[in-house]
Structure 1
């Protein structure tokens, strides 16, 4: 049955009637449609632009499709109706078009340097094999490749790049040649510098960014997904490492403490910023609203945060919003989330693929 909703449609900020027919939006009246919302604010379904359905809480690979479904359902029930999986050790292409879970944009497995990433999560390769690994993982994903540009190097006791700059540039080139975009995990100053200059499409975390580099990202159109609620966990990482690697521990604390200013400077420079939680591993699913509030606390206006979590992120990933012929994914809030982002914690209605979730 067709559905009917009426309310203030964002981002246009107009009170309008929408009809949802199968998985599409239309502004043309549909006779006999069931009205499911009359009033409030209609927002294109939210996006978590950095999560991991293939990694269970505690940083272990999932063992079944049902585990991935359950994690995706947590996000769905929070109004997050599209996900970019930024690396999964467990393949789940069967879920790409499953009606009951959010829309998916997926990377394959993380590509990392040997013994320089989380155990059992990534494909670990030395420099000569990186480009070939990128090509293979581009085929395993749906338009994205995930590179791990830095991690702790225990031989030096601190963060260090995974490979040299020429290898990183070759990795990005291989991703683009395979028709994929390249997302890069990076904490360190050296790693993010090399990857931005290599032409990566999105920087994940990006704690090592500098003022000059955010200006370069803005010129290039390189996106930033800062995962701020994950960066807050750096204190625990530092505590566990301090006994053996005090320099690394101090570095992680310094990166954490200056990160809100880094994110604010990226916004002010015009870097495209998207909302991602890094759910999977050490962060629970369903926390996009908390990431949004944290971005706002860092100095990004609420209206800009909402755009980065909704219609801008959907456009970036190829999931049209509430336009004629757009996808029938929407969330209804009782008040304007541009004025009160906390309302995103408690949606009144959730519709995914034209079907009422709540």
Structure 2
């Protein structure tokens, strides 16, 4: 691999437009190192840690699980769009054979969704026939993955609306099982009623969170529970409601209500101090490669440009335990033509996207 010389403003936690340019060096192994390096190729611009998509599904397509080569293509799309680190938030496909592909993003995995029978999308989860089986299933997933993904609520066909899947005591045992293995737990939650039990049980993160109330927002803020709101997927809620048709009218009405107040709900969580990260839900109703759309949506809903960039770069990398721009770390960066803190649109026009020192785009 050709060594690289990156020259420009390095956008870490503190750098802004007034900071001076620096020189970074990438060795033949694709890692940051001390320089200078003779005959290195120079790339100039604003240097930003690679974007993080904290809610992505590599291995899921519109019709369910996909073959491994299609999962590879999904990852290539995400990486070329700048998402060089993803938290795969539940997938039925074992994508570990793709880890040696230099054009794939780094994947932090959550294993398969855990649900109850007929309470999630067919073909995706491992189903617990008895709710009491959940802690054991969580422990199994935690043994193999740093995250575990629960389905916290889904439509109950008898009630005709969103309803929790798990009793509170089972959730507490499940969180203990995951944490004992050093794993963290997150959950899909659209509505209101599953949230108190999940947050009270010590869950580490909530996905979507459109049913948050003042009470559950306060619980999250006090406990340090993170939120990944997947705002661009929330835009699909009216379509989800329409698809319910006449069969589940209560569900349809509920989803439209959640959609109508979603921006205000997420803004209230931000204002209360809940930590928010950027995630697209690609594969779960969203096409891959849209991380910049989610960054812009987070900025508009209350994080602002600075907060939205942190939620998709330095803060997210720290949360997931991955390095940023530092000696020995993989050179996973975007080189941009101008300051993204002044205009997020430049994220769509990179000079170069580097994954482990390899130029992926443009």
Same fold (TM over 0.5): yes
- Is 1:18 equivalent to 2:24 in the alignment? yes
| Whole-angstrom distance in 2 between the partners of 1:174 and 1:10 | 38
| Whole-angstrom distance in 2 between the partners of 1:59 and 1:347 | 32
| Whole-angstrom distance in 2 between the partners of 1:157 and 1:238 | 12
What is the deviation of 1:299? 2.1
| Whole-angstrom distance in 2 between the partners of 1:73 and 1:294 | 23
1:54 to 39, 47, 59: 59
Residues 50 and 332 of structure 2 are in contact (CA less than 8 Å); yes or no, is this contact kept in structure 1? yes
| Whole-angstrom distance in 1 between the partners of 2:169 and 2:269 | 26
Q: Unpaired segments of 5 or more residues in structure 1?
A: none
Between 124-133 and 340-349, report the one with greater CA deviation: 340-349
What is the deviation of 1:175? 1.1
What is the deviation of 1:215? 2.4
| Whole-angstrom distance in 2 between the partners of 1:237 and 1:30 | 54
| Whole-angstrom distance in 2 between the partners of 1:28 and 1:197 | 50
* 3-state secondary structure, aligned to 1:28: coil
- Is 1:106 equivalent to 2:106 in the alignment? no
Matches within 5 A, 1:201-350: 201-350=204-353
After superposition, give the CA deviation of every residue in 1:27-65 in whole Å (9 maximum; x if it has no partner).
Answer: 532233221x22x31100001100101101x141012x2
Q: In structure 1, what is the equivalent of residue 6 of structure 2? A: 5
Matches within 5 A, 1:44-83: 44-56=49-61, 58-63=62-67, 65-83=68-86
* 3-state secondary structure, aligned to 1:301: helix
1:120 to 108, 112, 123: 123
Q: In structure 2, what is the equivalent of residue 29 of structure 1? A: 36
1:129 to 126, 133, 142: 133
Residues 54 and 62 of structure 1 are in contact (CA less than 8 Å); yes or no, is this contact kept in structure 2? yes
* 3-state secondary structure, aligned to 2:76: helix
What is the deviation of 1:99? 2.3
**TM score, norm. by length of structure 1:** 0.95
After superposition, give the CA deviation of every residue in 1:198-255 in whole Å (9 maximum; x if it has no partner).
Answer: 1111111111111232222122221110001111101011111131111111111111
| Whole-angstrom distance in 2 between the partners of 1:27 and 1:228 | 40
**TM score, norm. by length of structure 2:** 0.94
| Whole-angstrom distance in 2 between the partners of 1:68 and 1:241 | 29
Residues 78 and 347 of structure 1 are in contact (CA less than 8 Å); yes or no, is this contact kept in structure 2? no
Q: Unpaired segments of 5 or more residues in structure 2?
A: none
| Whole-angstrom distance in 2 between the partners of 1:28 and 1:270 | 41
Equivalences, count: 353
CA-based RMSD: 1.4
| Whole-angstrom distance in 2 between the partners of 1:60 and 1:346 | 32
Residues 23 and 328 of structure 1 are in contact (CA less than 8 Å); yes or no, is this contact kept in structure 2? yes
After superposition, give the CA deviation of every residue in 1:303-324 in whole Å (9 maximum; x if it has no partner).
Answer: 1101111111111112211123
1:43 to 41, 48, 52: 48
After superposition, give the CA deviation of every residue in 1:118-143 in whole Å (9 maximum; x if it has no partner).
Answer: 001000102121111111222343x0
